Amino acid sequence: MKNNAVERFRERKALIGIVGLGYVGLPLMLRYNAIGFRVLGIDIDAAKVGKLNSGHSYIEHIASEHIAQARATGFEATCDFARASECDALILCVPTPLNKYREPDMSFVINTTDAIKPYLRAGQVVSLESTTYPGTTEEELLPRVQEGGLKVGEDIFLVYSPEREDPGNPNFETRTIPKVIGGHTPNCLQVGIALYEQAIDRVVPVSSTKAAELTKLLENIHRAVNIGLVNEMKIVADRMGIDIFEVVDAAATKPFGFTAYYPGPGLGGHCIPIDPFYLTWKAREYGLHTRFIELSGEVNKAMPEYVVGKLMDGLNDRGRALKGSRVLVLGIAYKKNVDDMRESPSVEIMELIEAKGGVVAYSDPHVPVFPKMREHHFELSSEPLTAESLAGFDAVVLATDHDRFDYELILQHAPLIIDSRGKYRAPAAHVIKA
C-alpha cells in the first residue's frame, strides 16, 4: 500500500484534496495545480466555493487570473465532504484559534476530521497543516482516522506538516519555503515526503508528528518573545528620550549574534499572537509553567493600550480630551501591504478609542470596508486620504505602515500623528513616537 501511494505522487497521478481554502490552503492548491496535479478543494463556506469556481480570488495578494487558470486546468472547489473519498491526499488547512480563556479551540480540526472520517479509504494520506500543540495528531486525528478499521502506517498514512505561509512577502513562495514533516510511523513519513517533495523545493523530515508540531511553535514563539523584548525596550527607550528604531538599526549592523526585530502596536496575524499559548496550555499537563512565553505575551498584549495612552497624552498637550475627538487609524490589516485582518492590533486600538469616547475612523487601501469578524465589528468604510480629510481629524494613529500611504501628505496635513511604526524618524512637533 505504501509503495503504491508513493508511486502515485511521484508520477503525479494522485488527486490532491485541500480541506480549507484560506490563506494557507489556496496557495498550496495553486502550487499543486501548477505542477500538473489534479486538485479538489473542500470548504464549508459556500460563498467562497462559488467565488473560486467562478475563477475569482477573495484574497488580495492572490490574483484572480491564477484562480481562473487553475479552474481551466482542473481545479474544482466543493462543499461536499463525501468527495474526500476521491482524493489520494487530504491536506487539512483549517483555523486553530484560541477561545476567550486563551485556550486552544480545536473545534475546526476535530469537526473537519469528523467530516472526512466516513469517507477515508485505504491508500490515502492525511496531513494536518494547522498550527497546534504537540500531540494533536496522535491524540485527535489518529483515533478518528482508525475508527473505521483502517490501520495507520499500513492501510492509511498520517502526517503533520506545519504551514509556513507569509502573506504579502515577495521574497518567498510556497515552493521555496522548506517544509518540515513528521509521520506517525516510518511508512507514514515516506508517503508524506513523496506527497510534499513534488511541490516543495526542500522537505525537512523529523522523527515524529510531535517534533513537527513543536517545531512550528518554536518558530513562532521565537518571534513572539523577541518582539515582546523589543516592545519592552521601546517603552524604556521612550522614557529615556531615545529612539528605539535608531537603536535597532544600529544594533543590526553587528554581523553576528543579533537579529533585528522592530516594535509595533501589538501582534497580529493567525500565528504569532496565538501559537505560543498552545504550548503554554499543553505544558500545564506536564506540570510546567512557561514563564518566558507568558511574559512576552503580556508585554505584546499591552501594546494597543500603550499606543492609545500616547494618543491621549498628545491630545492633552493640545488641550483636548480623547472623548469627543475625531481619530483616524491608518492601516487596519495586521501587517503592511496585505488585506489580512486576523488578530490585528489596529482593531483593538479602534475599540479602545471608541470605549474612551473618541470618534474613530480608519483608512486602509487594502481593506475598503470593515469586514465581519467573529469578535469585532465596525460599520465603517475606508476614508480617502486628502489634505482636507486629514485636517478634519484631531489625530491620526499610524498602526500599519502600508507602502501605498502618502506619508508626506500625512505629515503635512495631520494635526497630530501617533507613529507606532517608526516611519517618521526626523523630529517633528506634531509627531509622537508610540
User: Which of 264, 280, 170 lies closest to 221, judged by CA?
Assistant: 280
DSSP 329: E
* Residue type (1 letter), 164: R
What are the residue numbers of the active site? 271
Separation CA 45–CA 30 (nearest Å): 19
* Longest CA pairwise span in the chain (Å): 76
C-alpha distances out from residue 179 to 299, 336, 343, Å: 31, 25, 25
Separation CA 200–CA 196 (nearest Å): 6
User: Which of 40, 49, 33 lies closest to 174, judged by CA?
Assistant: 33
Separation CA 51–CA 77 (nearest Å): 9
* Residue type (1 letter), 412: Q
User: Which of 130, 195, 119, 109 lies closest to 157, judged by CA?
Assistant: 195
User: Which residues contact residue 196 at a Cβ distance below 8 angstroms, ignoring those fewer than 6 apart?
Assistant: 161, 179, 181, 203
Following CA atoms 179, 184, 185, 189 in sequence, which dihedral angle do they give, to the nearest 10 degrees? -20
User: Which residues contact residue 274 at a Cβ distance below 8 angstroms, ignoring those fewer than 6 apart?
Assistant: 96, 97, 98, 131, 343
**Helices assigned H by DSSP within 181-302:** 186-196, 209-240, 244-251, 275-284, 291-301
Q: What nine digits make up the cell of 184?
A: 506517525
Separation CA 260–CA 262 (nearest Å): 7
The CA-based angle 94-89-62, given to 5 degrees, is 50
Burial of residue 65 (CB within 10 Å: 0-12, 13-18, 19+) is exposed
The number of angstroms, rounded, from the C-alpha of 149 to the middle of its chain's C-alpha atoms is 36
C-alpha distances out from residue 45 to 41, 49, 64, Å: 11, 6, 18
